[in-house]
Amino acid sequence: MVIDDPSKFHLLTEDMQKDVLKAAAATVNIQAALTRRNAIENLHNDFVLRNQFTEKSLHFEQAPKEAKSFEEIESHIGALDRAPYLERQEKGGTHTNPSGGQLSIPTTAARAGSNRNLVQKSLYRTKINKKIIKYNPHQAGNGRSALVIAAQAASAPGKYLKYNKNIYKVLDFKKSGDNVSFRLEMIYFRGKSATQTKATHWLTEASLKPAQDAQSIFNSQMEKLK
C-alpha cells in the first residue's frame, strides 16, 4: 500500500514505519551492489581489461540505513571521474585528443606482442617524446637520403623515429657503403584525429535484473525484520 502510494505512509505504526524504511534502504543498496556485480561481468565479457583499474573504478554510494523518509533513500552507481572512457563506452561517442591533433594509438608491438597487455612503461608517450627523431624530407638531397639519416639516428638505443605521423622503432639498421637496410616496427599509429565508440550500455543492462527484482528483494528484507 505504502510503496504504491507513499502519502499513506503516516497510516503505519511508528515501528512499522521504521521497518519499511530500513527494508527500502536495504533494497536499493542490494540493487546497487547487484548492478555493480553485473556491470563488472559485462565489462569482462565486452572489453579487454588489462588490469583491475577499470573494475575498481566502478563505485556505488549506499542509501543511509537509518533513513527518516523515502526521499533520503537512493543509491548511486557509476564510474569514478578517473575512468571517463566508461561513460563513452556506455553511451557511445567520439574520442579525441584533449590537446588536439592526432590520437596516439599504441600498437601490439607497444604491448609486448599482445593486445591484452598494457603498454610497456618504457614506451609511454610521456617517456619517449624527447627521444623521437623526426624525419625531415628536406634534410638531404632526396626523401630516401633524409629517411636514412633519420633512421640511423633513431636506431641508437632508446631512440624512436617519427615518420609519416606514426612512431617507429628502427631495427637492424645496417650500412655498408651505399647499401643501407633497416626495419621499422610501428609503436604508435597516429593516422586518426578521432575514433567513434559504439554504445554498449554495459551499465544499463547490468541494472535491469536488479530493477525487476525490487519487490522480491524488499519482501525478503521485510521478512528479516520480523
More reliable by pLDDT, 167 or 137? 167
Q: Are residues 55 and 20 in the same domain?
A: yes
Q: Are residues 205 and 190 in the same domain?
A: no
Interior CA angle at 74 toward 78 and 40, to 5°?
Answer: 30
In a domain, 65, yes or no: yes
Q: Are residues 186 and 204 in the same domain?
A: no
Q: Are residues 189 and 120 in the same domain?
A: yes
Q: What is the domain extent for residue 84? A: 6-92+198-224
Q: Are residues 53 and 69 in the same domain?
A: yes
Q: How many residues does the chain have?
A: 226
In a domain, 98, yes or no: no
Q: Tell me the pTM.
A: 0.75
Residue ranges of E strands in 62-126 = 76-79, 93-96, 105-106
Q: Are residues 213 and 190 in the same domain?
A: no
In a domain, 1, yes or no: no
In a domain, 162, yes or no: yes
Q: Are residues 13 and 54 in the same domain?
A: yes
Residue 12, pLDDT above cutoff 70: no
Rounded to whole angstroms, how far apart are CA atoms 164 and 86?
31
In a domain, 99, yes or no: no
In a domain, 97, yes or no: no
40-88 pLDDT per residue, tens:
999 999 898 888 999 999 999 999 888 888 889 999 999 999 999 999 9
In a domain, 203, yes or no: yes
CB atoms inside a 10 Å sphere around CB 73? 19
Q: Are residues 26 and 74 in the same domain?
A: yes
Mean pLDDT confidence for 193-212: 95
46 closest CA partner among 151, 179, 155, 199: 199
Average of per-residue pLDDT values in the chain = 90
Q: Are residues 109 and 56 in the same domain?
A: no
In a domain, 139, yes or no: yes
102-147 pLDDT per residue, tens:
999 999 999 999 988 999 999 999 999 999 999 988 766 666 788 9
Amino acid at 61: E
Q: Are residues 176 and 217 in the same domain?
A: no
Q: Are residues 87 and 120 in the same domain?
A: no
Q: Are residues 79 and 140 in the same domain?
A: no
- The domain tally of the chain equals 2
